[in-house]
Amino acid sequence: MTAVLRIEHLRTQLHTGMTPVRAVDGLSLNIHKGETFALLGESGCGKSMTALSIMRLLPDTGVITSGRICLNGEDLLQLPETSMRNIRGKRISMIFQEPMLSLNPVLTIAEQIQEVLVQHFRLPRDTAQTRIKTLLEQVGIPDAARRMHEYPFQFSGGMKQRAMIAMALAGEPELLIADEPTTALDVTIQAQVLDLMRQIQQHNHMAILLITHDLGVVAGIAQQVAVMYAGEIVEQASRQVFFDHPAHPYSQQLFASLPEKHKRDQALSVIQGTVPSLAQVFSGCRFADRCSQVMAHCHTTPPDWHTIGRDHQVRCHLFAQATWKPLARISSPNGKAATRPVETQNEPPVPLLQIADLKVHFPVRKGFFQQVVGYVKAVDGVSLTIAAGKTLALVGESGCGKTTIGKSILQLIPSTSGNVRFKQQELTTLRRKSLQPIRSQLQIIFQDPYSSLNPRMRVLEILREGMDALNPAPSKQNSENNTKEAEIDALLQRVGLPTEVKWRYPHEFSGGQRQRIAIARALAVNPQLLVCDEPTSALDVSVQAQILNLLKSLQNNLGLAYLFITHNIAVVEYLADEVAVMYLGKIVEHGQIDEVIGNPKHPYTRALLSSVPKVESDASRVTTLVKGDLPSPMAPPQGCHFHPRCPNAMPICREAYPPVSAFSETHTTHCYLYTSEPIT
């Protein structure tokens, strides 16, 4: 079988600093017809640069210094730019990460697809229109004949990515490069898009180069897996082999750092340190500094490829001797660090925060006089209770109102109606001044560590700001400065940073370190409740594990309560005590972690859980896909909000919002499938 794409010793350099960054350093791979080849790696390891090198679309600073890229035997690097244009879109297509940014907002979908057809096939207009319609139907856009003449803003995120795939398919490519195609999408939409890609590949028999950092996506769709680290591939295997017996220490440690349910009572194993800078010249193995099984010659001799099985190659000195036996995925090697304290179930937990029937509506204004023409019901009657020292996870797709709840608890967004009680004190009616004493007990950690720290302030000033504003410890005037500085040192140590960093500016830190600083800032005022708004979703898997460990140990040591807002079910399983599932501004299911994850009742919860790509080698897992997209919260569907997408919808679902059904003292849901009589 000949390879569709053969890359030999590709080297790509980026000239952005004083020393060139070797983004891709001697990469070789083969992709066969009808095969999905997954390139897996953390951010900054050179995955995307590989894709852009294949397309020869590198930024101006990027140069391919050596290597060969052969598409069906033709060396792309020898071609002039004009011939390259006939290959892009025709023989190689690409899907980008952000569907919102990769479609031109002023052209209709049909016009954009037509561009490809005109460029490569010179089709007459009528034929082109029919072809566009077929393509859009193929990617599952309903009512394609009408929707093809709509503009990108009229499409939802998932639909845009479908249209993007249709555009990529228009040239009937031999190779499709998908660069993080589902990273920007919600899990239910991600499942739809992955399913679509799977179908299309079976139908068209093209090769797919899938670039991703998500092990779950790889498990769901890939046939071959290559793990990339610091510009080179360190392990290559078929999916089955890779997920059963990951060989390279890096792959093993990646698996170990994934949050999973059965690791609940342990600390996650973390990969120490960070990805090395690619601007340096490596003398030995690139992973040596972070490897848990490092040997003396790892630092001096670069490892060779070792074939350790059928289709299984690894670049590691451990496999130089033939004595290696396939071992199963390592479980947690340092897993005894943070066992949780013995839970005393008998005494009822003290409610720290109570939210009752909270509503946050944003008025929609139109016209010259800014009349209110409607409301976006971001949060529409939510009641929650968080006990001291516990973690409540709020799960849902983007746009369902999770973040709004978090911000309105802290009174960053005024609520429309309802109550937020913290330690029996009503917060919604308090004025800005009188909120001040409570502010120190409620704090928030944000999603994006790059925008949550003021770039013009040093770490010391960032941490001091909250302390000065709220002054939680009323220390006396004398030597106040010294105590404050000592406190800051203690804080930094608590979040695992050296104390010297307080003199530095945020831009000098990596994403994980910045998130630690953000946590330290919140901790500076000794809060009792932390609202964590997707604190790990912008971070790599290995860094995510570090942050989760930190949050867990802080909870154990300081007795913090968390409201953990996330869409990542694996993190929920690992960290949460209780789960509330949110859909379009309302909680549809609520209960203890085991009750909801183990025995989901609401059809939406079930769909959400089954959409989550599982890190398993078994691809034949049955997933129940949710149809369609999240409706607009401005005009939620009548009756049960979920009924248009629900597989079990009944006539009554269209009429009124279902009442609460309880299964146990803690487990409740809103669905007509269950009797509404509460269990007493």
Partner 1 sequence: MPFSPIILWTDALIYVSLGVVLLLISVIRRRPHLLASWQRVGHSASGMSALTILLFFLCIGLLDTVHFRPALEQQNKPGETVYSVEVLSLLDILVTPLRTQVEKTYSAPLATHLYAKETIELADGQQVRDFARLQYGGAHLQHPDSEHIPDITQRALTGALQGLSIWLLLTVGLILVLSQRTKQSFALTLSALCRGSTEIPWNAILLTLLVMLLLIGCTTALAAHYHVLGTDKVGQDVLYQSLKSIRVALIIGTLTSLIMLPFALLLGIMAGYFQGWIDDVIQYIYTTLNSIPSVLLIAAAVLMMQVFIETHPELFETVAARADIRLLFLCIILGMTSWTGLCRLLRGETLKLRELEYIQAAHAFGISHWRIITRHILPNVMHIVLIATVMDFSGLVLAEAVLSYVGVGVDPSMNSFGTMINAARLEMAREPMVWWALLAAFAFMLALVLSANLFADAVQNALDPRAMTIRRTRLLQWPRKNKPQADKSTVPPTPESSRPT
Binding of partner 1 at residue 402 (CB under 8 A)? no
Nearer to partner 1, 457 or 558 (CB): 457
Residue 23 lies near partner 1 (rule: CB under 8 A): yes
Quick one: 7 or 278, whose CB is closer to partner 1? 278
Query: How near is the Cβ of 452 to partner 1 at its closest, in Å?
Result: 4
Find the farthest-apart pair of alpha carbons in the chain and give their distance in angstroms, rounded.
85
Cβ proximity to partner 1: between 206 and 532 the closer is 532
Q: Is 380 exposed, middle or buried (0-12, 13-18, 19+ CB in 10 A)?
A: buried
* Residue 521 binds partner 1 (CB under 8 A): yes
- Closest CB 75 distance from partner 1, rounded Å: 26
Smaller CB distance to partner 1: residue 283 or 676?
A: 283
Output the six-digit token pair for 63: 């140069």
The reply on whether position 447 binds partner 1 by CB under 8 A is yes
- 679 Rama sector, left if φ>0, alpha if ψ -120 to 50, beta otherwise: beta
Residue 227 beta carbon to partner 1: minimum distance, rounded to whole angstroms: 16
Phi, psi at 658, each rounded to 5°: -65, 145
Sorted by sequence, the CB contacts under 8 Å of residue 466 that are 6+ apart come out as 440, 521, 522, 524, 525
Provide DSSP, 175-216: EEEEESTTTTS-HHHHHHHHHHHHHHHHHH--EEEEEES-HH
Nearer Cβ to partner 1, position 24 or 87?
A: 24
Rounded Cα–Cα distance for residues 113 and 168 (Å) = 9
Q: What angle do CA 272, 531, 471 make, to 5 degrees?
A: 95
Residue 480, SS3 per DSSP: helix
- Per CB under 8 A, the list member of 287, 422, 446, 642 interacting with partner 1 is 446
Q: Among 14-22, 240-248, 571-579, 634-642, which window interacts with partner 1 (CB under 8 A)?
A: 14-22
**Shortest separation between residue 525's beta carbon and partner 1, angstroms:** 7
Rule CB under 8 A: choose which of 67, 140, 249, 511 binds partner 1. 511
**Alpha-carbon span 663 to 109, nearest angstrom:** 47
**CB proximity list for 434: less than 8 A, separation 6 or greater:** none
The reply to whether 277 sits near partner 1 by the rule CB under 8 A is: yes
- Give the range of 106-114, 126-134, 345-353, 534-542 binding partner 1 by CB under 8 A: 534-542
Work out how close the CB of 409 gets to partner 1 at its nearest, in angstroms, rounded to a whole number: 10
Does 17 bind partner 1 (CB under 8 A)? Our answer is: yes
Within 506-587, where are the H helices? Answer: 511-523, 541-558, 569-575
Report the residue from 410, 427, 519, 587 that binds partner 1 according to the rule CB under 8 A: 410
> Which residue lies nearer to partner 1 by CB, 511 or 591?
511
Between 192 and 515, name the residue whose CB sits nearer to partner 1: 515
- How far apart, in whole angstroms, are the C-alpha atoms of residue 114 and residue 128? 7
Nearest to 155 by CA among 165, 516, 298: 165
Total number of residues binding partner 1 (CB under 8 A)? 61
Alpha carbons within 13 angstroms on the beta-carbon side of residue 231 total 22
For 1-33, the DSSP string reads --EEEEEEEEEEEE-SSSS-EEEEEEEEEEEET
Q: Nearest CA to 597 among 351, 239, 264, 135?
A: 264
By the rule CB under 8 A, 15 interacts with partner 1? yes
Q: Which of 180, 232, 577, 589 binds partner 1 (CB under 8 A)?
A: 180
Q: Is 43 a residue that touches partner 1 (CB under 8 A)?
A: yes
In this structure, are residues 512 and 240 in contact, taking their beta carbons and an 8 Å threshold?
no
Q: Is 367 in the site for partner 1 (CB under 8 A)?
A: no
DSSP 487: H
Q: Considering the complex, what minimum distance in angstroms separates the CB of residue 543 from partner 1?
A: 9
213 binds partner 1 (CB under 8 A): yes
Q: How far apart are CA 207 and CA 204, in angstroms?
A: 9
Residue 415 CB-half CA count within 13 A? 28
Decide: is 448 part of the binding site for partner 1 (CB under 8 A): yes
Positions 451 through 470 that interact with partner 1 (CB under 8 A)? 451-458, 465-466, 469-470
Return the range that interacts with partner 1 (CB under 8 A); candidates 234-242, 261-269, 277-285, 610-618: 277-285
Min dist. Cβ of residue 539 to partner 1 (A): 8
User: With binding defined as CB under 8 A, does residue 439 bind partner 1?
Assistant: yes
CA atoms within 13 A on the CB side of 434: 7
Residues of this chain, 287-346, that bind partner 1 according to CB under 8 A: none
Does residue 97 belong to the site contacting partner 1 (CB under 8 A)?
A: yes
- CA-CA distances (angstroms) from residue 170 to 103, 113, 135? 15, 7, 7
Contact pattern from residue 53 through residue 92 relative to partner 1, giving x for each residue in contact according to CB under 8 A and a dash for the rest: -------xx-------------------------------
Alpha-carbon span 219 to 239, nearest angstrom:
7
What x-and-dash track marks residues 416-435 binding partner 1 by CB under 8 A? ----------------x--x
Residue 608 sits in the site that holds partner 1 (CB under 8 A): no
Stretch that binds partner 1, among 70-78, 414-422, 447-455, 555-563 (CB under 8 A): 447-455
* Selected binder of partner 1 within 166, 169, 538, 607 (CB under 8 A): 538
Q: Sign of the CA dihedral 523, 358, 375, 579?
A: positive
Which residues lie near partner 1 (CB under 8 A)? 15-21, 23, 43-46, 48, 60-61, 97, 180, 183-184, 213, 274-275, 277-279, 407, 410, 412, 432, 435-436, 439, 442-444, 446-448, 450-458, 465-466, 469-470, 505, 510-511, 518, 521-522, 525, 537-538, 540
